[in-house]
Amino acid sequence: MSSFFEKLSSITTFIFDVDGVLTDGIVHVTENGDQLRQFNIKDGYALKLAIKRGFLVAVISGATSKSTEFRLRALGVKDIFLGVDSKIHVYQDFVQANQLSAEQILYMGDDIPDFPVMKLAGLATCPADAVEEIKAISHYISPRNGGKACARDVIEKTLKAQNKWYNANPSAYDGRLM
């Protein structure tokens, strides 16, 4: 059986949940009903860089927020599935449409709705503060909590394993889509 780090060399696709993974899971609700989430800039850099390096990046979430979609689109994420009740069907459709195998997919989730998808993904990962059932089926548990650069952690490890992380001439624009 391959180790987590050996499996990273086959990853071509990252799929993330939003609340509890790309955010800390706290939702602020304004007086007019808007839901506000906080995203980590380090996750954003890593997401943009992964896309620039040719990786597929998708988000499957029960969240329904225009600001969440706006943030993800600004990072270059094209495959955004929000307001999803059953993640497994969206996941299977995405995998089929992109002709992916399980070994190519790293999925990061943190709670029970992620469980069925994580059982199918080649690499199931989670933040340090994921629920116990998710930790139990994860191939890797990030030392970082949700919204605290756990997505950056798994993207960076994958890109480093594939020699796609370091740029000899780094700049603030390294992750920008050109």
For residue 4, report the phi and psi dihedrals to the nearest 5 degrees: -55, -50
For residue 40, report the phi and psi dihedrals to the nearest 5 degrees: -95, 130
DSSP 8-state secondary structure symbol assigned to residue 112: G
Residue 127 belongs to a domain: yes
Query: Which CATH number does the domain housing residue 51 bear?
Result: 3.40.50.1000
- Domain membership of residue 34 as a residue range: 4-161
Residue 177 belongs to a domain: no
pLDDT string in tens for the chain (178-residue length): 578 889 999 999 999 999 999 999 999 999 988 888 999 999 999 999 999 999 999 999 998 888 999 999 999 999 999 999 999 999 999 999 999 999 999 999 999 999 999 999 999 999 999 999 999 999 999 999 999 999 999 999 999 999 999 765 655 555 443 3
Location of structure tokens 């990046």:
57
pLDDT tens profile 32-56: 888 889 999 999 999 999 999 999 9
Residue 167 belongs to a domain: no
Residue 175 belongs to a domain: no
CA-nearest of 164, 154, 135, 175 to 4 is 154
Beta bridge partners of 60: 81
